[in-house]
Structure 1
Amino acid sequence: MIYGRSLFHIVASLIILHLSGATKKGTEKQATSETQKSVQCGTWTKHADGGIFTSPNYPSKYPPDRECIYIIEAAPRQCIELYFDEKYSIEPSWECKFDHIEVRDGPFGFSPIIGRFCGQQNPPVIKSSGRFLWIKFFADGELESMGFSARYNFTPDPDFKDLGVLKPLPVCEFETGGPEGIVESVQITKEGKASASEAVDCKWYIRAPPRSKIYLRFLDYEMQNSNECKRNFVAVYDGSSAVEDLKAKFCSTVANDVMLRTGLGVIRMWADEGSRNSRFQMLFTSFQEHVVTECPLLRDDGSVEPETQPHPL
């Protein structure tokens, strides 16, 4: 009887240990998965002398479930050359539907696509048409491989071969805010930020009052070199001056009004030496979106019923 009871306790203990081990392994697996997902990959790179970037863990196998965005930015009047190392391996698939590298000619995920690459043969040399390349590395949940190492350098933009290298740009920033106001290109020379013959890359930071948004209306706008965005443009950013917050960019003959979703607007004007007659004037207005609440109405019998139509403020 004692033997049977001892055997029962031993078996029960083994079951408990097994369940504890399984739970621990499951917890470790979950924690590992969460840790992997929290690891960031991708970067914004604009080092003057070029550089190198790789897939996660390269040359070891890249982890599953990754999407890394790399954006390369060249200086004005430069283009980008991108090279992939021969030690390259990404899970092959038809039309690279699974793991892949995607390269686009510009700073956005909707810029013109240059190519999508996977398999064992490294991509060819890639050249941008302008200052930016957008590169996405995607890995699904299965069949990891070595990944890639890529290096980039900058070359003169052939569109400006007769103009030479651009001189260093002057620092040109403005701060403003309040319920409304004017930002305009004449501030550049009026406030001594740059001479009338210097190329400029100027930013106006507009800060609305708390809990307000911003509406922008062009009062005057003209690009000296219309439709040549490499030479002159006016851009509007919503929330920061980062490229992912670009709301609108104007370099043709027309500029539209813009409504922002945040209380921080950034206006950027780029004009090279031959485009300094480009100009703009913009009115900004701060506003708040009022929440309409239901207002009580009295019935004939004196009881209260909710109003179904918005109540004017």
Structure 2
Amino acid sequence: MIHGRSLFHIVASLIILHFSGATKKGTEKQTTSETQKSVQCGTWTKHANGGIFTSPNYPSKYPPDQECIYIIEAAPRQCIELYFDEKYSIEPSWECKFDHIEVRDGPFGFSPIIGRFCGQQNPPVIKSSGRFLWIKFFADGELESMGFSARYNFTPDPDFKDLGVLKPLPACEFEMGGPEGIVESVQILKEGKASASEAVDCKWYIRAPPRSKIYLRFLDYEMQNSNECKRNFVAVYDGSSSVEDLKAKFCSTVANDVMLRTGLGVIRMWADEGSRNSRFQMLFTSFQEHTVRRVHL
């Protein structure tokens, strides 16, 4: 579970404040400073045995002006099943433009949408295609209802039915910094982080000098199982290793250079047991942006 600043970052960065063309009770809904304030709610959950989450105050009526983001994370080689309790009631509206639950297949607010739900009939069982589900509960300023209770559990990913359960992953992190340097996958073996036959989930933390940003350039890159992101990828994060700071993810045959907006870059390499020939080498360069001041004559 993510606490404190990270949870606030997730909720704040994903809030959607405008619903184009939506009117209610024949009047245009006005956005005020009061309605813009959404109560912090929602969680990042990855409990191994599943769990339960609810709308605020359930089974009593949820309060108005809510924006809650729930992100469910499964372990590698698992998918998610999501069930809604029959005691369910969310203000009905055409196409669920007002109060609603929105579910997406992935960890982001722009992941493929599975459905948007409201009314008195609880949603059907929802199954993810991978390790994440993103769920948003939205309530406007009028007509509150009971809300929902949802439970989730994990099931084996059918894409890996012949490989079985993944063994525990070795600890694999690297700290790097300075004006420039090389990040490369061969460090995993050189520094004894994992054997050549173990699955790895490794992170390189690059810390630039104060007031600097980071530019990343790939010198070498090859995924053993191209276009199979569940099996191998290289990802770049900007500011932290949390999923909301994901800048780019590469698992095909091409990897592009990346410019970061902060002085902390995180490179992550995931490779399962059958993808350990995947490799990359990356040059990082720290730089400072200089502003040109105009001189008036």
Task: Give CA deviations for 1:120-148 in whole Å, capped at 9, x if unaligned.
Answer: 00000000000000000000111000000
- Is the Cα–Cα contact under 8 Å of residues 234 and 251 in structure 2 kept in the other structure? yes
Distance 1:288 1:120, change over 3 A: same
Distance 1:24 1:132, change over 3 A: closer
**Structure 1 residue 212 displacement after superposition:** 0.3
Distance 1:96 1:31, change over 3 A: closer
Give 1 or 2: higher helix fraction.
Answer: 1
Matched ranges for 1:41-120 at <5 A: 41-120=41-120
Runs of 4+ in structure 1 deviating by more than 6 angstroms, as ranges, are: 1-36
The match for 1:127 is 127
What secondary structure does 2:15 align onto? helix
Distance 1:274 1:209, change over 3 A: same
- Is the Cα–Cα contact under 8 Å of residues 73 and 131 in structure 2 kept in the other structure? yes
Give the TM-score, by structure 1 length.
Answer: 0.81
Separation of aligned partners in 1, 2:10 and 2:225 = 87
Task: Give CA deviations for 1:160-185 in whole Å, capped at 9, x if unaligned.
Answer: 00000000000100000010000100
Distance 1:57 1:26, change over 3 A: farther
**Structure 1 residue 156 displacement after superposition:** 0.2
Distance 1:47 1:32, change over 3 A: farther
**Structure 1 residue 30 displacement after superposition:** 17
Task: Give CA deviations for 1:250-274 in whole Å, capped at 9, x if unaligned.
Answer: 0000000000000000000000000
Distance 1:26 1:117, change over 3 A: closer
- Is the Cα–Cα contact under 8 Å of residues 7 and 43 in structure 2 kept in the other structure? no
Alignment RMSD (CA, Å): 14.6
Distance 1:139 1:275, change over 3 A: same
* Number of residue-to-residue matches in the alignment: 291
Higher-Rg member (1/2): 1
Distance 1:15 1:125, change over 3 A: closer
Distance 1:25 1:183, change over 3 A: same
**Structure 1 residue 40 displacement after superposition:** 1.4
Give the TM-score, by structure 2 length.
Answer: 0.86
Task: Give CA deviations for 1:207-248 in whole Å, capped at 9, x if unaligned.
Answer: 000000000000000000000000000000000001000000
- Is the Cα–Cα contact under 8 Å of residues 70 and 136 in structure 2 kept in the other structure? yes
Structure 2 unaligned residues grouped into runs of 5+: 291-296
**Structure 1 residue 39 displacement after superposition:** 3.7
Separation of aligned partners in 2, 1:154 and 1:129 = 12
Separation of aligned partners in 2, 1:3 and 1:162 = 36
Separation of aligned partners in 2, 1:4 and 1:84 = 28
What secondary structure does 2:27 align onto? helix
Structure 1 unaligned residues grouped into runs of 5+: 291-312
Distance 1:9 1:252, change over 3 A: closer
**Structure 1 residue 26 displacement after superposition:** 27
Distance 1:35 1:142, change over 3 A: closer
- Is the Cα–Cα contact under 8 Å of residues 227 and 251 in structure 2 kept in the other structure? yes
Separation of aligned partners in 2, 1:76 and 1:93 = 38
**Structure 1 residue 89 displacement after superposition:** 0.3
**Structure 1 residue 81 displacement after superposition:** 0.2
